[in-house]
Homo-oligomer: A and B are copies of this chain.
Amino acid sequence: MPGKIRTAQSVSLDIPASEQPYLHNRWHPDIPSIASVKPGETVRIECLDWTGGQIGNNDSADDVRDVDLTRIHYLTGPFDVEGSEPGDLLVVHITDIQPLDHSPWGFTGIFARDNGGGFLDRHYPRAAKAIWDLDGIYCTSRHIPGVRFAGLVHAGILGCAPSAAVLAEWNRREAELVGACAQSHPGQVVALAPLATNAHAGAADGELRARIAGEGARTIPGRPEHGGNVDINNISRGSTTYLPVLVPGAKFSVGDLHFSQGDGEISFCGAIEMAGTISIRFDLIKNGMEERAIKSPVYRPGDVAQQFGPSRYLTFEGFSVDEAGRQHFLDATVAYRQACLGAIEYLKQFGYSGEQIYLLLSCAPVRGSIAGIVDVPNACTTLGIPMDIFDFDVSVEAERVPRSLAPCPVADPRVR
């Protein structure tokens, strides 16, 4: 008789993340496995929020401004999946994700330009924050009045450990980019090299720990070989992801749970970040990478999601001409930035600050689409905003009435 679903790993909100041995914040094949799961089994896995608890439920953005980005992405794992071998596909079917019952809140942040930054940091260089209260499947924020929506709860990070060869390739190509950009993008963080400071290698200690700290890949980027920090908002309840297995046992890890996130997660700390519990049913497709011709993660969204009706999305077009009027060649990233900036100017009319909308576009269920990618020189992207998340009418036709909305906290620049 099936009973209650097994919790494969719990976490503590009271012990520092760096001291919890079933967490880690680097990708490396040799981080010790913490538990084993069977194909066909559903287990619950608890996760900390991605900062490991650095951000507080309060009305100051100083903690966001001062966040220590070497102490992030404490993932729960790695888990061995019985019988898995390199070349298999690990099937990750998410049956539920919930905030921790005793912690029904989350946060969205704008990082300061000189400590983390984000998609629009040239426009919004100061740190800002919004705290969200989670009420069942809905959320509201005292820092962004007038909006309320159901979250498409998801895991920002999920993936299997890289093999040594894959890890070496990551380090090679990212170092190459850093080198190539040293002159063209001076001072810009284009990629993060391995860093021993605050590396958490789970239960590894001694020499192993030192080696992992020295070689382990940073967790910020998603990567094609295994997924990782993909920040895909519809890898949600009911979704099924097919992950390449690169090491014996798969060594699956998960973390960075999001109550909600817009396409792009544009403010970088842009989802509604939370600690929570994810329930996963694992399966294996033996030799699936070759037999199914899958080299990068593939997924099917769940069949449960918000439904706003397509005509309820006010949609902004963005092209690859940048803010300074400079023409870029089929650059969808520049184009999406323009769509975001257009939406911000539009929504400011209703009484919000730019930071509030920047936060909102990052975390609300907005849709970012690649419309046209071939019409030289302009990529065309779109940003769709579901109007029904607002308490008032934000359509083009709506009358603009002065509204006095409470602000979100914005931090003064740090004095060094």
Contacts and interface: CB of A to CB of B under 8 A. Distances in A.
A375 to B, nearest CB: 5
Interface string A330-372: 1111001010001001101100000000000000000111111
Contact of A373 (B173, B266, B369, B388): B266
A233 interface: yes
Copies in the complex: 4
Interface string A313-332: 11111110100011111111
Interface stretch (A80-88, A201-209, A295-303, A408-416): A295-303
Interface of A: 1-5, 42, 57-58, 89, 94-96, 101-102, 104-105, 118-119, 133, 135-138, 150, 169, 173-174, 176-177, 181, 185, 189-192, 220-224, 227, 229-234, 237-239, 242, 263-268, 270, 279, 281, 285, 288, 291-319, 321, 325-333, 336, 338, 342, 345-346, 348-349, 367-382, 384, 388, 395-397, 400
B307 A310 contact: yes
Given A136-B237, A230-B371, A342-B298, A5 B104 contact: yes
Nearest to A191: B377
A276 to B, nearest CB: 12
Given A181-B329, A185-B329, A303 B298 contact: no
Contacts of A301: 310-311, 313, 315, 384
